[in-house]
Structure 1
Amino acid sequence: MVMITSRLVTFTAAIAIVAATSSNALAQKKYDTGVSDTEIKIGNIMPYSGPASAYGIIGKTQAAYFNKINAEGGINGRKINFISYDDGYSPPKAVEQARKLVESDEVLLVYSPLGTPPNSAIQKYMNVKKVPHLFLATGATKWNDPKEFPWTMGWQPNYQSEGRIYAKYLMKEKPAGKIGILYQNDDYGKDMLKGLKDGLGDKGASMIIAEEPYETSVPTIDSQVVALKSKGVDVFISFTTPKFAAQSIKKTAELGWKPLFILNNVSSSTGSVIKPAGFENSQDVISATYLKDPSDPQWKDDLGLKNFDTFLTRHLADVNRSDTFVVYGYSSAQTLVHVLKACGDNLTRENVMKQAANIKKLQLEMALPGIQINTSATDFAPIEQLQLMKFKGDRWEMFGDVISGEVGG
C-alpha cells in the first residue's frame, strides 16, 4: 500500500512537471494574426505593371530570397508565406491591396510596399490597424516619424538627404551653375526637390533657373527636356523614376546637349536605366549609392558578392545581374529576416516593430563598406549614408567619401 502511494505521488509530480513545462513553452510563444508554429505570413505590394514596372524585380527578388530562407529551414522553424500583389503604382489600387492583405489574407505585416504615392495612401490605414508597415521601398522623409506613425518605417536613405548631398556637391564643383530640374509631380519628386533647395540655401534662388514637373501618366518627358535646354540650363537634375530617367538621358543626348547631369539614386540601375538609355549617352552622369554594384570589378573577390551570386544561381538564375534593383531586393529582404529572427517566438506585431527599432550596426552583405543599419525608438531611418558616383564606360565609379545624409551631417 505504501509502495502504491509512493508511485502515485511520483506520477502526480511527473504530470505537474510536464504541465509546468508545457505552460512555460506556451508562455514563451506569442503570436499575432499571420503567425503559427509553421508559418509567418508577410504581405507586399509592388508595381509589377504600369509606369514604375521596372521596380517589379524587387518583389521577385524578395520572393526568391524568402524561398532560399524556407529551403534552409525557415526562421526558427517557420516558413515565410510571401503574398505579393500588383498595384500598378496606383494609390487607389494600393489601398485596395493593403486592405486585402490585412483583412482577407490576415498577414502579420506589410513589408516593402513600393513608391511614395502608394505608401502615402495606405499609411494612415496601416497605423490605425496597428499593422507593421515596414521597410518601405521609398525614400520619402516622412516615413521617419515614429511619434505620429509608430507602425511605419522606411529603409533606404531619404530623398531630402540625397537632395542635400547633390546640393553640397554643386556648391563645391559648380557654384555658378544654372540648374534645371525635371521632377515627378508627386510627394516623391517634391521631397527630392525640397532637399536640393534646402541644401542650396540662399543660393538656390539664383542657381535654379527652371523647373519642369511631369505626371506618371504621360508617355514621354521629351518636351520637358527640350524646355530645360532652351532656358540655358547647364546643370540638369533628373528626379525621375526609371522609365522617365532613361528617357531624360536619351533625349539629352539626342539634342546634343552636354549639361552636368545628376540622376537620383532610385533610377541609377545599370540594367534597368543606364543600359536602355545607352552607355554612350550616360557618360559622366552623377548619382549616389549605398549598395555595391555587382558589375563593378572592385568587388570580384568580395564574400558578400560571392554569396549574392550563389543566391542568384540557385534561386533567380534568369535575372539581369547588373540590375541594382536586384541588390536592393536582396538587401531589404536580409534586413527583414534579421528582424524576424530577433523576434524569436514573440511574433506579435508590437514586437516586430520593437525589434525593427532596435537594429545596431547591421552591415549587410551588399551594402557599401561602412554603411550600416541603425535604428532606435526615435529614429526610423535605417540607412542614412550615401556615396557619390559617376558613370564611366560601362559602370559606375564611386568617388569621395561616404557622406552622412542626416540633417547637418
Structure 2
Amino acid sequence: MNTRSTAARAISVLAMGSIVALALAGCARADTGGGDGDGAAASPGITDDSITLGVTTPLSGTTAGPGNCTVAGLVAYFGQAGPIEFGDGKTREVKVEAFDDAYDPQKALSNFQQNQDKVFAFTSGLGTPTNRAYREAAIEDEVPQVLVMTGDPIFSTPSESPWQLGFVPVYASEGSAFGELLAESSGEHKVAILSQNDDFGEGYVEGFKEAIDGADNIEVVAEATYEATDTSVDAQMTELAASGADVLFNAMSVTPLTIAAIEKARELSWSPSWFLPSNTSSPGGILAPAGANADDGIYSVSFSKVPQSPAFAEDEDVQGFLAALKEYSGAYTTEPEFPHCMWSYMVGATLEQAFQNMEEPTRENFMESIRNITDFKAPLMLDGTSIDTTQDGQAAVSTVVVQRYNGQGFENAESFE
C-alpha cells in the first residue's frame, strides 16, 4: 500500500491528471467567489472555475490504511470525471485538499478551524470521534460536513445536525442486519460481544441486541469492551473465549486490533463464527494478513462491490474504478485494500449529483441539493442498494447486504450456517 503521512496534502484533480495544488491562501469570503454579479454571492472555496473540498482523515497512525482510502477514491473519481458542469451553468475543476488528523479529535478540530475559509465543504473523512470533534463548529459557522464516513445517526438527523450528512449506514443498521440473520437461523447460538467503547461500538451493539430481542435461540453469554487507543485486546479475547460462545459479534474499528483478535482466537483454539463491521472486514487489508480462510465463518455487510472478488473480475464499474485509482491516486494508495477506497469513489459520484443541481455557488444551496438525491445508483454499488439522502435519521446509504468470506472475497449469505 502506497501511503505518505504528512500534516496536510493537497491534490488538485484535473481531467488530465492529479497535481499538487497550491494552498488557497487568498481564498476570499462570500463577495469574492467570482460570478457575474447576478444572483447570490459565492461562498468560500468556490469560484467560477473551481471548487475545493476538504477532507480531515487519518493519513497516519493505526487507521492510516482506511484513512488514505477515504481520499484516494475521491481523487480518483474526480480525476476520471474531469471538470464538472454545475447547475448554475459554470464548469468547475474539483480540487481535493486532505489534512491528516491521525484519528485524533483535537487534530480534526484544528484542521477544520485552519481551513474552513479555504474549502467549500468538508467531506469523506473517517471516524466518529474525529467527525464529532468539529461538528458543532461546522454548525455554528455554517460549513457543510457531508458524506462523512461515520455511522453515527446524529450526522443524518437534520434537526440536530443541519449542516451534516453521513455516508455509510448508521451503525445500528449494520448491527441489526447481523442480528436478523442470526435470529432467522435454525440452531441455538451463544454470542460473545467485543465492542469499541464509544458511539461506534455502542451503536453496533444496540442494533444487534434489538434485532435478537425475543429470539429464543440466541443467548448473549459474555461482553467486553476496549478503547480505540488500546494496543492489545488479548485479555478481552481470552475472557470471551472462556464463555464457550459459538458466535463473536466483533464491533471493532481499529485495523491492527481486528487482525490481532483473529490471530488470538486461533492461538486460543477458539473457532466462533465472526460478525465483522463493513469497515474492518477488508479481504486484503485485514483478513489475508490475519490468515483467515473460508472455513472461519466470517460474515460482514456491504453495499459496494469488492474488486478482489472473482465475481467482479470483469465488472465494468470495478475496472473503471481500478484504472482511475491507479492513474490519479498514487499520493494515497493505488491498491483498494480497504472498502473506504470504494466508498469515497461513491462519495465523488454523489457529490457530482449535488453539483449538477446547484443553481447558486453557495453552501446553503449545496445543502439543499445534497439533501435531495433519491434512488441514485452510484458506481460500485451492489444490487439492492442505492443512495437516498432524503430520509431523516438515515445516512446517504441505508441498505446493506450480509455476506460471507469465501477465502478471496465475499459472497451474499442467504442464511447463517
Pairwise mapping of residues 140-289 of structure 1 onto structure 2 (< 5 A)? 140-173=152-185, 176-203=188-215, 207-241=219-253, 242-280=255-293, 283-289=296-302
Q: For residues 106 and 322 of structure 1, what CA distance do their matches in structure 2 show?
A: 31
Which 5+ residue runs of structure 1 have no aligned equivalent?
1-23, 402-409
Amino acid at match of 1:261: W
Does structure 2 retain, via aligned residues, the 8 Å contact 1:249–1:281?
no
Q: For residues 152 and 131 of structure 2, what CA distance do their matches in structure 1 show?
A: 10
Pair 1:381–1:324, CA change in 2 (3 A): closer
Pair 1:283–1:259, CA change in 2 (3 A): closer
More helix by share: 1
Q: For residues 330 and 63 of structure 1, what CA distance do their matches in structure 2 show?
A: 5
Pair 1:216–1:323, CA change in 2 (3 A): closer
Match of 2:79 among 59, 68, 75: 68
Match of 2:312 among 275, 294, 299: 299
Q: Which residue does the alignment assign to 2:335? A: 320
1:111 aligns with 2:126: no
Q: For residues 143 and 63 of structure 1, what CA distance do their matches in structure 2 show?
A: 20
Q: For residues 54 and 205 of structure 1, what CA distance do their matches in structure 2 show?
A: 38
- If the length of structure 1 is used for normalisation, what is the TM-score? 0.85
Alpha-carbon RMSD: 2.4
Q: Which residue does the alignment assign to 1:343? A: 358
Does structure 2 retain, via aligned residues, the 8 Å contact 1:61–1:316?
yes
Q: For residues 137 and 217 of structure 2, what CA distance do their matches in structure 1 show?
A: 38
- If the length of structure 2 is used for normalisation, what is the TM-score? 0.83
Between the aligned residues of both structures, percent identity stands at 26
Does structure 1 retain, via aligned residues, the 8 Å contact 2:120–2:363?
yes
Pairwise mapping of residues 13-92 of structure 1 onto structure 2 (< 5 A)? 26-28=37-39, 30-62=41-73, 64-65=75-76, 68=79, 72-75=82-85, 76-92=90-106
Pair 1:356–1:183, CA change in 2 (3 A): same
Amino acid at match of 2:268: L
Give the superposition deviation at 1:393. Answer: 2.4
Report the 3-state secondary structure (helix = DSSP H, G, I; strand = E; otherwise coil) of the residue aligned with 1:178. strand
Which 5+ residue runs of structure 2 have no aligned equivalent?
1-34
Higher relative contact order (CA 8 A, sep 6+): 2
Give the superposition deviation at 1:342. Answer: 2.0
Report the 3-state secondary structure (helix = DSSP H, G, I; strand = E; otherwise coil) of the residue aligned with 2:238. helix
Q: For residues 398 and 209 of structure 2, what CA distance do their matches in structure 1 show?
A: 19
The structure with the largest alpha-carbon Rg is: 1
Aligned residues: 374
